[in-house]
Amino acid sequence: MHSISPQKQPNTRENRAQRVARLGLLAATLPLAACNMVVMKPSGDIAQQQAQLIVTSTLLMLLIIVPVIFLTFFFAWRYRQANKSATFAPEWDHSTKLELLIWGAPLMIIIALGAITWISTHKLDPYRPLDRIAAGKPIPEGVKPLVVEVVALDWKWLFLYPEQGIATVNELAAPLDRPIQFKITASTVMNSFYIPALAGQIYAMPGMQTELNAVINKPGVFDGFSANYSGHGFSHMRFKFHGLSDADFQAWVAKNQAGGAALNRSAYLQLEQPSERVPVQRYAQVDPGLYQAILNRCVDSNKMCMGQMMAIDAAGGLGKGSVDGLSKQAWRDGERNVVASMCTPQNLDQYLPAASRTAQR
């Protein structure tokens, strides 16, 4: 058997004490690490207002939390068993003043929090167009928002710029102090579009469109990612957001137009396949109807668009005979059913627009 010599025991205890001291120091500095968190020091006006809302709400709640914690320790010390001078009142059971204080103060704070929540919910509604680019800076006349169409893929992000006619994968850019209107959807499963420096997170769902209005006020490169688990490639579903001056943004657009490929429907179907750690890709040309086809889940021309299906449903549906219009399509490791055609009633023409009637025939 081996034994530890007495000379080494003090050193072992000393090492343990040093480790405990280091852990204590680390724990003490953890709250200070939050001071540099991007959520509380963002670079976009919407995110700054959200950070201020967090601070205001926290301070209001601390008006109750701090006194309660203080009084808990004070009562434990004041009425300890060893303190013989403390008032002993075993028959005491009620005080109107204390009741008013105990219930009145939280009630006033709840009312204040409710008012702040109601106002901020409407003011910071992600669907609401911006009325300013920063505190005290209204949007200049004639400035239109930059429209960016966002598609969450497995496991990457596709950004379409309809005004510029370009698209990128896992890279996003916008000019400073110009409103940005994001139109957001997904290809297969739900994700969450989140740039902490810009604004709060917004869900991306297949067959649905969500929106986010925001603005970036400071230049820099900021992190963006999915904040909703969507499969084993979720951890690497990240991108960079560039806040650029007007001149730099135009140069960025020109770079994409000069060095990119064409993104048509067939290229999108290839891009849509699940992949991880995808590098930045650039597209100089984009099919004008691609985003609407993605949103309506009919990029494959053999499928019926959701808008057409809903129009048929609004007209009364097609009955059991429509089952014959289903066909199978290869998908990942298996197959899936898609609606390829339908047998329509004679009077359907009066309900569907001309484009939908042509597609059905």
Mean pLDDT, consecutive 10-residue segments, the chain of 361 residues?
A: 48 62 60 64 91 92 91 89 83 86 89 93 93 91 94 96 96 96 94 94 95 96 93 92 96 90 93 93 93 92 82 65 62 67 50 48 46
**Helix 96-123, helix 45-78: angle, nearest 10:** 170
Question: Please, are residues 162 and 290 in contact by the beta-carbon 8 Å criterion?
Answer: no
Q: Was domain 134-295 assigned CATH 3.30.1360.170?
A: no
Judging by DSSP bridges, how do beta strands 202-204 and 210-214 pair with one another?
unpaired
The reported pLDDT for the residue numbered 182 is 97
pLDDT of residue 290: 94
Best CA proximity match to 160, nearest among 270, 268, 233, 303: 268
User: Residue 13's pLDDT is what?
Assistant: 59
Q: What is the pLDDT of residue 196?
A: 94
d(CA 155, CA 175) in angstroms, rounded, equals: 26
Q: What is the pLDDT of residue 322?
A: 57
Q: How far apart are CA 167 and CA 164, in angstroms?
A: 9
SS3 324: helix
DSSP conformation letters of 62-130: HHHHHHHHHHHHHHHHHT-TT-TTS---TT----HHHHHHHHHHHHHHHHHHHHHHHHHHHHT-TTSPP
In 188-332, which ranges are continuous DSSP H helix?
246-259, 265-271, 290-295, 306-314
Domain ranges of the chain: 36-73+99-124, 134-295, 306-360
pLDDT value of residue 285: 93
Q: Tokens representing 234?
A: 């979720």
pLDDT of residue 191: 95
pLDDT of residue 220: 95
pLDDT at 4: 46
pLDDT computed for residue 271 by the predictor: 94
**Per the omega criterion (within 30 degrees of 0), is the bond before 92 cis?**
no
